[in-house]
Amino acid sequence: MCNVSRELVFSRFNSQISLMEYYKLCLLGDSDRNKVLTEMQQRKGISKSLGNLIESFLYNLRRIRRSDQYELEDLKIEEILNKIIANDFFGSIKNRKKFYRVVEKITTQSFDECIYRKELWQDYDLHMEWLDHKLPTPLKVQLANGHYYILELIVKPLILTYYKPIKTPKSYQIEFIRRSAWQMFHRKVQNKLINLGYMSYSMEAVKTRGRLRLYPKGNLENLEFRALMIPNKTYMARRYYYRVLASKIKRIYTTGKELKGVYRGLFRKWNQYCLYFTKKYSPPAEDVYAIKMDIQDAFGNVNIEKLCDIINNSNLEQKIKVTLIDHVSNQYVLFDYTPVKWNHGLLQGDFLSSHLCELYVTVIEADIIGAIERPNIFLIRYVDEYFFCSTNIADVDDFERSIKHNFPINHRKTQRSNAGNPIITFCGHEFNIQNKTVSKSYNSQSVNRHRFRFLRFNTINSRLICDAPSLDDLHVDKSSHQLYIIAKAMQYRWNHHCFLFLKLSPHLKTERRLLLNTAEGMVYLAFKFHFATTAVDYCHKKYMKRLKGIVDGIIVFYGKKICEQIRKWRILVPFEYVLGICLKAFIVVLKKNPQYKDIVEYLAKKYSTLSLPKWHSKIFSKFPDKFKNVKMDRRSAI
């Protein structure tokens, strides 16, 4: 839920439990757990009977960890906990189930996620025999202390016994991988890196930049991974110096280029390319052929010798050239606490790698681009992805051969348009090569990613409590930090990427396509709203009246904003059409959760008052197929 300091994790519960206190869900190391154990053994804030219970549970945990019976069985963590923690501790089945909700949050956590400490004591039945009425500590505080020690000393060590927590590189999600499978994967990848010469052990004392971590990609048996460097404190201390170097590298490959941001440049080029057909053909009659290609392991396949030659031939100062060449020639990191030299291209995670890779690719591709620039050709590259179109299929074949000759290609990500499938997905958008329309590309992974981002929101960070014009339209009480975070997440500037298709010229979008794209964007926004409310623990019946006002404000605000963008192109779409789409999008999403029943009824009643044709409800009442795999609730897989 939020990102807090490590000291807050170990602070003991006092008699004045504040709703703004947090409990960190991350799995602690042995040294941190020993501190908690020492604290518990000093019997601070807990009864003697509770201390004895926890000692017996620790004995059960040690017995189970010594046994291999659960390594072969497909048991859930909760089932093993049933064998460790006796019913005497919880007092009732209701209390045990409530406690297991916190356990489920641990097993579905986001990076640096926290929960409110009140979840460790609120709404529990205080009928446990181990609660001591004679202690000066309130019963709720004793209960919270008991749950805290059970989580730190029993639950988390049990999870770490059988699972390895891995943060996914593209999101804040923590994946739990069977420890036996992870150890086997780690050994095989280590042997692979050594045998292929991607890294070599250093026999001398060297300065390392950080630790090398392996992140699996897909099934562990495929041995596909991303090697990412995590900078150490010494290397981080020099990050401002490397920023200066990065800006000087950037000047080399951006000289003479018009840089206006990837989306602005992409849509501007696409508009110009489609305008060529509009002027030459009315209506456009010539077929267009397209291909999208992805460079395989762009960082790892950089040829260091060629890169050094490029640096030497650049107009950089001699001192900087020597520094950069030494930087790419001596890439030392720690792998399993052992110094190694990285020999496979550039290290991902290094401060200069992205700029050096961009410089390398720009220089290599210069001859290819210079030879094919013609009005009937569209070509753009974003990082390691190429998108190429031409009216001549031979041009597409020639381009494909040229790229393959210079770069290794990831064939699984290659897309080629044809009569049966004219869609090319590039840079988060779907380009229809036949009718030239563009729409946002959605998938369950990109939407679910927001869940893990919201779960680590720092709700006490003062930077979030700042004035924002778009929030004024939602009439949010800034004293409520939870409502304020929900409203801030709904700001147009954070979600405008869902409506970038509105920037396309009018001849590239039909009214029907425009309305369908708007519906998909609002469904995406409705999911984001749900993730925000659950992340800050605001998805309860007592808050529905306030949330109703927030939702109403969001729908009206976005309806006006979308109509404003549409009218810039002199396309006449009634405001009621757009408002009805926004209402239906929130209805089809929120009705999946019974907690939003009052809001859904309110939105449905508001929709019924609009003067809309029959086809409107028929089309936009359906849940889009693109979002079918998005999960509303947190469900543990372990």
Q: Which residue has the higher pLDDT, 195 or 517?
A: 195
Nearest by Cα to 77 from 141, 163, 166, 135 = 163
Strand 163-167 with 174-178, pairing: antiparallel
pLDDT of residue 563: 87
pLDDT-based confidence at 606, cuts 50/70/90?
very high
The alpha carbon dihedral of 595, 599, 602, 606 has a sign of negative
pLDDT of residue 466: 36
Domain 446-462+470-627, CATH: 1.10.357.90
Question: Residue 440 belongs to what H/E stretch?
Answer: strand 438-440
3-state secondary structure of 379: strand
> Could you give phi then psi for residue 558, rounded to 5 degrees?
-70, -35
Residue tagged 């009214």 (tokens): 511
Amino acid at 246: A
Question: Residue 212 belongs to what H/E stretch?
Answer: strand 210-216
pTM for the model stands at 0.81
Does position 23 have pLDDT exceeding 60, yes or no?
A: yes
Does position 5 have pLDDT exceeding 60, yes or no?
A: no
Within 10 angstroms of residue 90's Cβ, the number of other Cβ atoms is 22
Domain 22-167, CATH: 1.10.132.70
Contact 348, 226 (CB under 8 A): yes
Q: Which residues contact 285 (CB under 8 A, 6 or more apart)?
A: none
One fold for 22-167 and 446-462+470-627: no
pLDDT-based confidence at 432, cuts 50/70/90?
confident
> Could you give phi then psi for residue 375, rounded to 5 degrees?
-60, -30
Sequence spans of domains, the chain:
22-167, 446-462+470-627
The DSSP code for 295 is B
Q: Which two tokens stand for residue 514?
A: 């425009």
Range in 90-104, 248-262, 614-628 with the lowest mean pLDDT: 248-262
Residue tagged 């046994």 (tokens): 67
Contact 438, 431 (CB under 8 A): yes
Strand 429-432 with 114-116, pairing: unpaired
Does position 1 have pLDDT exceeding 70, yes or no?
A: no
Q: Report the 3 state secondary structure along 232-285.
A: CHHHHCCHHHHHHHHHHHHHHHHCCCCCCCHHHHHHHHHHHHHHHHHHHCCCCC
Q: Which tens digits make up the pLDDT trace of 504-552?
A: 655 555 677 788 888 999 999 999 888 888 877 766 666 778 888 889 8
pLDDT-based confidence at 317, cuts 50/70/90?
very high
User: CA-based Rg of the chain, rounded to a whole angstrom?
Assistant: 29
Contact 305, 264 (CB under 8 A): no
